[in-house]
Structure 1
Amino acid sequence: MPSASMYRKCTNHPRLPSPGLPGLSIRSTPFSKRPSAMRSILALGKRIAEAVAVMLFLAMFSIFLLQVFTRYVLNHPLGWTIEVCLILYIWLVFWTAAFLLQESEHVTFSMLAEAVSPAKRRIFMIIGSLCLMVGFGSALPTVVDYVDFMQIESAPITQIPLSYVYAIFPVFLLAVTLRSLLRLISLIRQRPAARPAKPPVPAAGPDKLSSSDQHEAMSK
């Protein structure tokens, strides 16, 4: 029958690396240290948005080079290249602003907010997020209706319906509305930082007294 010392020797063996995965132990990672499902979904969505932005930029740049080549080398420019570049540029700008740019990367007027205390700055940020959410959210139905109406018009050269060209506008409004809502919830849940305690005022010593006070103290 195995003794207690033999059992401890068997259970205290070093962790063995799992086959095919160097550096990983056989024991599973604790559940609290695993990334949450929401964080994984957001990371996957960001990678997809970055991939779409890269493809839009590569397509626009390739068509731009084709336009330069046909105009200055072949002396036979293609008319559709300018139109497609403009459409791709519109999609690239609004797609990037909707899904990739952070709040700090947008153009903001922060002189007034930086001149007040952190508690008042938090109130300004709540008001700003609320205004963005209400403004963009209320404009979304009208923009969707206008984009749907523009399907009767087409681009002059490529004959692409303008509803496809402007379809990025409702996507942009919806993304900004949802991001403003999430930021508003985060700001409301955030507790204002406590003000730091003032350091105690040191007692006035002889070196802190004026010359007249020092003379009176010495005379006494």
Structure 2
Amino acid sequence: MLERSRRIAEGVAAAVFALLFGVFVVQVGMRFLFNRPLAWSDELIVVLYILMVFWSAATLLKEKEHVMLDLVYAALPPGGQRIFGLLGAALTAGLLLWMLPEAFDYVRFMHREKTPVLDIPFSYVFAPFILFVAVIGIQYVVKFVRLLGHNWREQL
């Protein structure tokens, strides 16, 4: 089931990227071939880019694929890495889940504002951020629990 969910997430990300790229190609063609720039294309590209970044970061990237500075962490013995992992997971999960209601409130507040050309409510534009905060927060809760378990070395 996890593999199927991952394939669906990859499909959504690929579809959003393909749409973004298609709009970009149409925009370039209209601007440089026909000298008729499209007002809506820039805005749609930004909206699709925001969706693609937050969707992909929440559903596809693994923690080890994120850029991080781990010089001190890598130099520690496994027990020290476990402690750092527990602290990092607790802080990350705690902060993200603590801010989730505020992020939701902000996105709900932004419903009153709309994009200038396409008239899309900004709540729709920034809704993927809520997904990102919730999913990453939950992933770090799971990591914290796994680091407390017997097979904690697998989480390092």
Question: What residue number does 1:167 align with?
Answer: 127
After superposing on structure 2, the runs of 4+ consecutive aligned residues of structure 1 that deviate more than 3 Å are 190-193
Q: Which has the higher helix share?
A: 2
- The aligned runs of 1:83-102 (5 Å cut-off) are 83-102=43-62
Count of matched residue pairs:
153
- 1:190 equivalenced with 2:150 (yes/no): yes
TM-score with structure 1 setting the length? 0.68
Larger radius of gyration: 1
Deviation at 1:115, TM superposition (A): 1.3
Deviation at 1:182, TM superposition (A): 1.2
- Is the Cα–Cα contact under 8 Å of residues 100 and 130 in structure 2 kept in the other structure? yes
Uncovered stretches (5+) of structure 2, i.e. residues with no partner: none
Instruction: Give, in whole Å, the separation in 1 of the partners of 2:5 and 2:142.
Output: 16
Question: What residue number does 2:36 align with?
Answer: 76
Uncovered stretches (5+) of structure 1, i.e. residues with no partner: 1-40, 194-220
Deviation at 1:85, TM superposition (A): 0.2
Letter in 1 for 2:122: L
Cα distance per residue 1:16-43 (max 9 Å; x no partner): xxxxxxxxxxxxxxxxxxxxxxxxx211
- 1:116 equivalenced with 2:76 (yes/no): yes
Question: What residue number does 2:20 align with?
Answer: 60
TM-score with structure 2 setting the length? 0.95
Name which structure has the greater RCO, CA cutoff 8 Å, separation 6+. Answer: 2
Change (3 A) 1:181 1:192: closer
